[in-house]
Structure 1
Amino acid sequence: MTARVLVVDDLLPNVKLLEAKLRAEYFDVLTALSGEEAISIANEQQPDIILLDVMMPGMDGFETCRNLKSNAATCHIPVVMVTALDQQADRLAGLNAGADDFLTKPVQDIALFARVRSLSRLKQMTDELRHRHAQGAELGVVSPAALEELGDEERQIMVVTDDDLIDGLEGGVAELPAACNFTYVSDGRAALEALREGTPDVILVDLGMESYDPLRLCSAVRSFEGSRLAPILAIARSADTRRLVRALDIGVNDYMMRPVDPQEAAARIRTQLKRIRYVENLRASFNETLELAVTDQLTGLYNRRYLATQLPRLMQEARSKGKPLSLMLLDIDHFKRVNDTLGHDVGDMVLKETAERLRLSVRGVDLACRYGGEEFIFVMPDTDTTFAEIVAERLRASIAKDPVKLPDDGLGSSELGVTVSIGVASMDPNDTIETPQSLIKAADEALYRAKDEGRNRVVLRAA
């Protein structure tokens, strides 16, 4: 796969050398000679990954990285620091600044390219979610997403190793949120069984494991539906370069080398936890946007758009199963008078209370929708005319019996009596001519007859 890479270094020869290597591998390359220029280009061009030098005059790499990660427009872009600094303190400083990796020069080309492809792939996996989330944010239905600090929610971390690696990780536990729980598994097969029961938030896999092929384990994690997006952090030895490159190609998110530094392990785990939380927020907001698209904002019932997609499906299922289906069209009596005399706030209260009564009557297979204005539709699969009439009459009586409580106006709480008229139409499963439109029209005609006959009643479809 290809990607757009931003190379940042204050030395032009270094930029040109890395640019030439990346272009030879068919990457699209952008360049910057300072931290300020890098931030500007990242905002405008949205690269897939940033290769960032640390030692630069003015704004150094650490400050540049912190700026990129604190900006909602660029926080999702992976940053790899490529520098001559080789001290562990420098590595930790880079990871704590938000970098996804810290590579020390000279970097092997094969390892660098594998890392670029891996991080670019992971970034592109979230781009579609980000795009949909951005549309929702522009419409004002969801709030902007960002890489946030970790909260107090419980997080599960699985470590798969068959040696004494545990001691090296335990020292970094204090650097992680208190709610992080470690589970240690010494066999790859046992890890796969555990993944079938539940997916941890981060999975650490020892590439030197002998009891089970660690690459096969990583591949299985990526193939399972539940763990497909779970971050995998590989642990390798310096001699495992070829295996590590293969692991990155399979979909491993990050890695660290033995001997494991506890603080580095904590920093890398924390980065993965923040990133998976970011993805979770994007997915949750996308689901929220979908829900808002098919839900009536005032009543919380499904809207007319959702009805248009589901009623044909429900009718088709009824025919295939040889089961009847009934539809109830409900209209609040004299609703315009309520709005005109008591105001739209009271009208909204009446609509919400009616919707709540309707919701309480819904079975798991039923579909309740606000059809428009003061009209509601209630679709009842596997329900014949006789039972539909009983349900409609029970709902009508419930609404008429219990008035809507209005807010206290200073003279004590008041109540408003509300009634509804209901038209009911049923579909014979052997009728191949009935359409969603004709079924709704039949219920609408029955509703009009209920209105003409004095309201506050249930009328069935004419024979």
Structure 2
Amino acid sequence: MRAMIVDISKSLSVLLSQHMASQQIKPLALTQGHEALEMLKRARCDLVCVAMHLEDMDGIEFVKAVRSLKNQQDTHVVMLTTNENRDTLSKAMKAGVNELFRKDQLNKLLEHITSWAQKIKLEHIHGNILYVEDNKATALVVSEQLKHSGYTVQQVTSGTAALDLLDTQKFDLLMVDYILEGSMTGLELVQEVRLNQSQPFEHPILVLSGQEDDNKKVEILRSGANDYLDKRASYDEMMVRVNNLIRTKRLFEQVQYQQEKLQHLAMTDQLTSLHNRHYLFEAAPQKLSEAQRHQFPVALIIADLDKFKSINDSHGHATGDQVLKETGVLLRKLCRKEDIVARFGGEEFVILLSHCNQAQALDKAESIRAALLELKPAQLRVSASFGVACLEGGNQQNFNDLFSDADTAVYLAKNNGRNRVELHKN
């Protein structure tokens, strides 16, 4: 998106330019109205912010001149003024101004630019469409119309060919004719696609048909299609339906992404980026159930940094945080991808190791203990006490009990002088 700012105030132009850049808008700031008009004659602009009074001409006359340019008919024009009386507003709107803001309402102006930019991003949709149509003439016309609107189109003639492509590629929309080449109808293709999907907007489906029977239309929608389009519909109607379906898919994906991000935040320790105790108590019982079902050993290691309070007291909390971060990086580095590594809270870390027997768990804890001494996080000599508990041979034990056993072993390590590994013995 491109924007032009025409105002004699350099400070205002800088502020607007910075905000526009944050919204992926490319701004150009000018002070002369005539210079701006010459540039607008040569290149289209999506947004123009102009002051009521310019160095060389009146702002309203400038807007009238902009609207007279064929390439600027759809340009969004915002006017800035120090006087917002009814007469000014009327003249500005008649000239072709879309929005009028007083210069002491900058927050409202910035909010408007943000809102406008988001709206434009949604309207300028590009996507990949799979079009299933067996009539060559119809397929050619519709494909060209979709490509002209900025879409990438792959066209096939049968439901079988469509399913093959859906297995290997991602599409933003599936457009399906009701009658297809081969034994599979468009309705059957829709049903087959929906059988293999958990979400209706993973592949939005638009069915095209010349069927006039309302019952057929209802059947199409009930089969899993998101929308229906009569083949005799205009180009504009087709594009509205296509754009709406793809826009809804994008919004759905955005919501999904935000939910996944929130879920990740809820299960992640913000300081170390390890899992947190909430994730641990959700995932660990599942790991234990799997171990008991398939009869493989698991081990739990609890590591508690020694005398961590004195680090905070002597060196400050920022240094303490750095120690925790570097310890977290070390633990992640020394553990396998399938292991659960979590910061339980404070200076306590927990590691759940699958397919790990007692001897292996003790070796792992000892190697971490030695590596931590060598690491010297935040340039400090830091040690930890380790407690190890194991579950072997498919023994029936819940996670809380296993955790309690490892915790008991940690206390034993502390009492026996710290900087050591202790095993809980049943």
Q: Which bracket does the TM-score occupy, shorter chain normalised?
A: 0.5 to 0.7
CA change 1:254–1:317 in 2 (3 A) is closer
In the alignment, is the contact (CA less than 8 A) between 1:203 and 1:231 conserved in 2?
Answer: yes
Relative to structure 1, the CA distance from residue 314 to residue 373 in structure 2 (aligned partners, 3 Å threshold; closer, same or farther) is same
Residue 278 (str. 1) matches residue 251 (str. 2): yes
| Cα pair distance change 1:191/1:367, threshold 3 Å | same
1: CA distance, partners of 2:311 / 2:234:
71
Match of 1:204 among 162, 171, 175: 175
Q: Which runs of 5+ in 1 are unaligned?
A: 1-145, 406-414
Task: Indicate the residue corresponding to 2:421 in structure 1.
Answer: 458
Match of 1:325 in 2: 298
Following TM superposition, by how much is the alpha carbon of 1:260 offset from its aligned partner in structure 2, in angstroms? Answer: 5.7
Distance 2:391 2:185 in 1: 59
Residues 1:213 and 2:185 are matched in the alignment: yes
**Does the alignment pair 1:355 with 2:328?**
yes
Indicate which of 178, 181, 187 corresponds to 2:152: 181
User: Cα distance, 1:345 vs. partner?
Assistant: 2.0
Checking the alignment, whether the CA contact within 8 Å between 2:143 and 2:153 is kept in structure 1 is no
Distance 1:152 1:385 in 2: 59
Displacement of 1:217 in angstroms is 1.5
Contact 1:172–1:265 (CA under 8 A) maintained in structure 2: no
Tell me by how many angstroms 1:253 deviates. 2.0
Is this contact kept in 2: 1:311–1:436, CA < 8 A?
Answer: yes
Secondary structure of 1:149 counterpart: helix
Q: Secondary structure at the match of 1:172?
A: helix
Partner of 2:71: none
Q: CA–CA distance in 2 between the matches of 1:416 and 1:176?
A: 62
1:438 aligns with 2:401: yes
Contact 1:328–1:424 (CA under 8 A) maintained in structure 2: yes
Cα distance in structure 2, aligned partners of 1:154 and 1:361: 44
Secondary structure class of the residue paired with 1:298: coil
Aligned equivalent of 1:428: 392
Give CA-to-partner distance per residue, 1:4-34, whole Å, 9 cap, x none: xxxxxxxxxxxxxxxxxxxxxxxxxxxxxxx
Higher relative contact order (CA 8 A, sep 6+): 1
**Residues of 2 paired with 1:430 and 1:254: CA distance?**
52
Following superposition, the deviation at residue 461 of structure 1 comes to 2.1
User: Aligned pair count?
Assistant: 306
- 1:378-416 residue CA offsets vs partner (Å, 9 max, x unmatched): 0112211111111111111222112224xxxxxxxxx23
- 1:157 matched residue in structure 2: 129
Corresponding position of 2:241? 268
Within 5 Å, which residues of 2 pair with 1:77-156?
A: 149-150=121-122, 155-156=127-128
Check 1:147–1:203 CA distance in 2 against 1; reply closer, same or farther (3 A cut). Answer: farther
Report if aligned partners of 1:231, 1:272 keep a CA contact under 8 Å in 2. Answer: yes
* Contact 2:125–2:243 under 8 Å retained in 1: no
- Counterpart in the other structure of 1:386: 359
Q: Give the Cα–Cα distance (whole angstroms) in 2 for the partners of residues 454 and 151 of structure 1.
A: 67
The one-letter amino acid of 1:343's match is G
Structure 2 residue runs of 5 or longer lacking an equivalent are 1-117
Q: Which residue of 1 aligns with 2:166?
A: 195
Q: Which residue of 2 aligns with 1:169?
A: 142
Structure 2 counterpart of 1:116: none
Alignment partners' CA distance in 2, 1:308 and 1:293: 13
CA deviations on 1:194-241 (whole Å, 9 max, x unpaired) are 223344210111124354421112222222226743211122226455
Matched residue, 2:267: 294
SS across alignment from 1:162: coil
Deviations along 1:229-278, one digit per CA (max 9) or x if unpaired, are 32111222264554333212323222333346444433322221111011
Pair 1:171–1:185, CA change in 2 (3 A)? closer
CA contact (8 A) 1:221 1:228 kept: no
Paired position in structure 2 for 1:124: none
Question: In 2, Cα distance between the equivalents of 1:153 and 1:334?
Answer: 57
Which residue in the other structure is 1:396 paired with? 369
> What amino acid is the match of 2:387?
G
Name which one, 1 or 2, has greater alpha-carbon Rg.
2
State the partner residue of 1:257: 230
- Distance apart, 1:314 and its partner CA: 2.3
The alpha-carbon distance between structure 1 residues 254 and 320, as it changes in their structure 2 partners (threshold 3 A), is closer
Q: Please tell me the residue identity of whatever aligns with 1:366.
A: D
Give TM-score, length-normalised by structure 1.
Answer: 0.60
Query: TM-score w.r.t. structure 2 length?
Result: 0.65
Please give the secondary structure, in 1, of the residue aligned with 2:229: strand
**Is contact 2:134-2:158 (8 Å) kept?**
yes
Alignment partner of 1:296: what SS? coil
In the TM superposition, what is the alpha-carbon distance from 1:422 to its structure 2 partner? 1.1
Which 10-residue stretch deviates more, 308-317 or 215-224? 308-317
RMSD (Å) for aligned C-alpha atoms: 2.6
CA deviations over 1:57-101 (Å, ceiling 9, x no partner): xxxxxxxxxxxxxxxxxxxxxxxxxxxxxxxxxxxxxxxxxxxxx
User: For the structure 1 residues 338 and 323, does the alpha-carbon distance in structure 2 shift closer, same or farther, using more than 3 Å as the test?
Assistant: same
For 2:408 and 2:322, locate their aligned partners in 1 and report how far apart those are by CA, in whole Å: 27
Q: Measure the CA separation in 2 of the matches of 1:227 and 1:176.
A: 27
* Identity percentage of aligned residues: 32
Following the alignment from structure 1 to structure 2, what is the Cα–Cα distance between the partners of residues 384 and 335? 30
Distance 1:267 1:364 in 2: 47
Partner of 1:417: 381
Structure 2 contact 365–421 (Cα < 8 Å) conserved: yes
Q: 1:416 is aligned with what amino acid?
A: L
CA distance, structure 1, for counterparts of residue 240 and residue 298 of structure 2 = 58
Q: CA distance change for structure 1 residues 251 and 325 in 2, over 3 Å: closer, same or farther?
A: closer
The secondary structure found in structure 2 opposite 1:203 is: strand
The correspondence for 1:346, drawn from 319, 337, 359, is 319
